[in-house]
Amino acid sequence: MSYLEYYNFKEIPFANAPDLRFYYDGYQYGYTEERLIHIVNNMSGLAVVIGGMGMGKSILSRHLLDRLSAVDTEYQSGLMVIVHTAITASWLLKKIALQLEVPEPAEEKTQIISQLYNRLTEIHEEGRKAVILVDEANMLQTREIMEEFRGLLNLEVPGKKLITFLFFGMPELDEYLRLDEPLRQRIALRIMLRPLSLDAVHEYIKYRMDKVESSKQIFNDESIKLIHTYSRGIPRLVNTICDNALLEGFLLKRKSIDPEVIERISGELMLAEEAPPALKSRFADPAETPMYAPDAPKQPAAVSPSAVPAQSALPPAPAQKEERPAAKEEKRQVKEEKPREPRIFKIGE
């Protein structure tokens, strides 16, 4: 039996993989999406969504793409996920051309730009709008790349741009946009995703539980307060804490998750480092307080002093061999990964 059967869940409620079935449009996400749709419909050029790790940028971009792709008579849309920084301007232009369904993109940059202009003109004459979403846009870290986006945004017809770009990235994206000031001045909309409030965490957890057809209140109010504290309102961490807490509750055979479970899980996940000082002391050392014991451990019986061997009779403790500085340094070295080839993802094919 797994915790799915124990809690009678239809499926795992707090998986971290982007799954559009679990897309939460409450709090700021539905509002953000509507503002981005406004930018697309008015062909305003460039919109930027900034958010820290785990704030839901990827699932937001995929949900927006799904929404645009559902109306292909109105939009020509595509999504690019930038997986590392070693990309060139030619590679970028070619991938954008493929997203816009340019037949046989050329190898030369000037020819690709000409093909893109012709294709964008066709899309405009069809009464549709071209939009490219770029996830992990913080990987675009060179001025050359930013200049290419500015050049594409200069492709216009009277009163309108021919293409709109939606960037989703980490906070450092702001710094890379400054590499090309004319591009930064073309930003029509900038949105900063904020951590979930306590009320939003309540709503988010309930939403996820409803999705797996659970009507029980497994997480009580005090537990949710701790989840909000230790997750700092970051959706990814909310998912991680809740998933681990459900597994712990199953192993302990508890039908509801109490604060004790949340504190222990958060401690094991090393989230205590970010907790307020008043809460840090409440984390129990897993080695000292095993939760799986059915009963509290009994206190050991008192031992007569005469039964304790003299200190001199005990064998000396082996001396701990001091690690050489070179060995310590060797452990700190991290093996460099071999650069991966650029990849592109197009959702909805």
| Residue 80, phi then psi, degrees to nearest 5 | -115, 130
Neighbouring CB atoms inside 10 A of 75's CB total 21
For residues 218-227, average pLDDT = 96
pLDDT band at 337 (very low <50, low <70, confident <90, very high): very low
Which tens digits make up the pLDDT trace of 76-112? Answer: 999 999 998 988 998 999 999 999 999 999 988 889 9
Q: Which residues are within 8 A (CB) of 12 and not within 5 positions of it... i.e. 6 or more apart?
A: 4, 212, 243
CATH architecture for segment(s) 29-192: 3-Layer(aba) Sandwich (3.40)
Q: Which residues are within 8 A (CB) of 172 and not within 5 positions of it... i.e. 6 or more apart?
A: 138
pLDDT surpasses 90 at 275? no
Query: What is the structure's pLDDT at 72?
Result: 85
Query: What is the structure's pLDDT at 115?
Result: 96
pLDDT surpasses 70 at 210? yes
Query: Which of the given ranges, 33-37, 84-88, 322-326, has the highest pLDDT on average?
Result: 33-37
Average pLDDT, the chain: 83
CATH code linked to domain 3-7+196-280: 1.10.8.60
Which tens digits make up the pLDDT trace of 182-200? Answer: 999 999 999 999 999 999 9
Query: What is the Cβ-side half-sphere exposure of residue 25, based on CA atoms within 13 angstroms?
Result: 11
% of residues, the chain, pLDDT over 90: 70
Query: What is the structure's pLDDT at 25?
Result: 94
Return contacts of 338-341, CB within 8 angstroms, 24+ apart: 339/84, 339/86, 340/83, 340/84
pLDDT band at 216 (very low <50, low <70, confident <90, very high): confident
Q: How far apart (Å, rounded) are the C-alpha atoms in residues 63 and 19? A: 9
Q: What residues does each domain of the chain span?
A: 3-7+196-280, 29-192
pLDDT band at 279 (very low <50, low <70, confident <90, very high): low
